[in-house]
Amino acid sequence: MPPLDERRRAPLSRRTALGRLAALGSTPWAAAAWAQDDNELMGYAPRAKAPAGYPAAYATTVRAAEDEGQLSVHSTTDERVAAPLVADFQRLYPRVSVNYEDLNSTELVHRFIAENELGREAADVLWSSAMDQIMSLALGGQALAYESPERSHLPAWAQWQNRLWATTYEPIVFACHKPTLPESEAPRSHAALGPWLARAGAAGNAPGSVVSYDIQKSGLGYFLAAQNAAADADAFWAAAQGLGASRARLLLTTDAMVRQIADGRARFGMNLLGAYTLAQAPKLPALGVIFPEDYTLVISRLLLINARAAHPNAARLWVDYVLSQRGQSVMASSSRLHALRDDAQGEVTGAALKKRLGERARPVALGPELAAPLANAAYRDFILRWRAALGRPR
């Protein structure tokens, strides 16, 4: 996987370019010599063309994006996972410098809101798996409306009012440490979680032998918990009590859960992002992955263009690229996220997942109702009940 900075002909940021020029000296011959050697100054990168099949007017968007010269993307997708997408985008648009930053879902939203309210330059694009938070931002007027040329190639449900765009079709899974908990002995459904966790607690398992999200600190964790409760309230609250009984360790990311399960610090994990977990499994032989048999939640990473974006045209290019067959194929083959489009080329696709899951797939619908659990009273009541179920009232 090429690192983000491996772009022979990609543009440098203006700061980096100026820094290199300063190192050589400020004389014209020094600048010319450096540019001829590395071909990396913004002015030396070739102009990009509109993608084949796009309206002729799209060339104006491309030129405007090149004039903006920059793009800021804040995302819950790990930088190492997004690196192939960023690199390929820069091959298409070498005059647009990308500043990609991965953040915890809660930090991403809080930072975005704060920077906009303070009049600072916030991210041009948000890309997050915490669907409820992104919907809440859109309902609050924070999303720029944009009708992508790729819209006709997407399922009808995969956009909301041209303000939010679904990009993936990803399962939420369980995981186990196979040497100490074979997959055949692990809980295989949400309904089985509560009784199994209660038995694990009664057996005196070590604290932290079960891991899941800290839903008070992880926006994605809260979103998944709310979806579980909506799907089967009895099973979810029994599982919450079981997490308390088993003295579960609550974490912020799937990556942290995967590491602890793979090295044996934990035996079982609930509500992991399937894309990350499945991608790590071939390299971590102790890691077992379980698709819940009663229902498997399927979520999507949502794209939002900031209504106050400093670089709105570059943001449009990014959205269109990620939604395009080319971008979706990079996602399926290199980033190993479950690409949404049926014509995406690669091993990890939503089409393959639909075939695997069949009727047990429970995709989360994209609509205003996503934000309902975030309303102040609903959120407060849910968290209070969660704490009580865990036996941690404070």
Domain membership flag for residue 328: yes
Which of 286, 250, 285 has the alpha carbon at shortest distance from 269? 250
Asked if 224 and 371 sit in the same domain, the reply is: yes
Residue 280 domain flag: yes
For residues 66 and 129, state if they share a domain. yes
Q: How confident is the model at residue 28 (pLDDT cuts 50, 70, 90)?
A: very low
Reported as a pLDDT band with limits 50, 70 and 90, residue 288 is: very high
Where residue 377 sits, what CATH number does that domain have?
Answer: 3.40.190.10
Dihedral, 284, 286, 289, 294 alpha carbons, nearest 10: -170
Residues 235 and 182 in one domain: yes
pTM of the model: 0.85
Q: Is residue 38 part of a domain?
A: no
Q: Compute and round to an integer the Cα radius of gyration of the chain.
A: 23
Q: Please provide residue 324's backbone torsions phi and psi, each rounded to the nearest 5 degrees.
A: -75, 165
Confidence of residue 394 (pLDDT cuts 50, 70, 90): low
Total structural domains within the chain: 2
- 248 plus 324 within the same structural domain: no
Averaged pLDDT of the chain: 89
Do residues 57 and 160 both lie within one domain? yes
Has residue 292 been placed in a domain? yes
- 141-170 residue pLDDT tens: 999 999 999 999 999 999 999 999 999 999
Query: Which amino acid is it at 112?
Result: F
Task: In whole angstroms, give the CA distance from residue 174 to residue 176.
Answer: 7
- Together in a domain, 64 and 94: yes
Which of the two residues, 362 and 37, has the higher pLDDT score?
362
Whether 246 and 142 share a structural domain: no
pLDDT on residue 201: 80
Same domain assignment for residues 210 and 256: yes
When pLDDT is averaged across residues 233-254 and rounded to a whole number, the result is 95
Tell me the pLDDT tens digit for each residue of 297-325. 999 999 999 999 999 999 999 999 999 99
Give the residue numbers spanning the domain of 245. Answer: 170-299+367-390
Whole-number pLDDT of residue 15? 38
Residues 240 and 275 in one domain: yes
Return the minimum-mean-pLDDT range out of 16-25, 56-65, 131-140, 309-318: 16-25
Q: Do 116 and 202 sit in the same domain of this protein?
A: no
Whether 259 and 309 share a structural domain: no
Q: Whole-angstrom Cα distance, residue 41 to residue 323? A: 29
Q: Does residue 34 lie within any of the structural domains?
A: no
80 and 101 in a single domain? The answer is yes
pLDDT tens figures, 333-348:
999 999 999 999 999 9
d(CA 309, CA 311): 5
Higher-pLDDT residue of 15, 295: 295
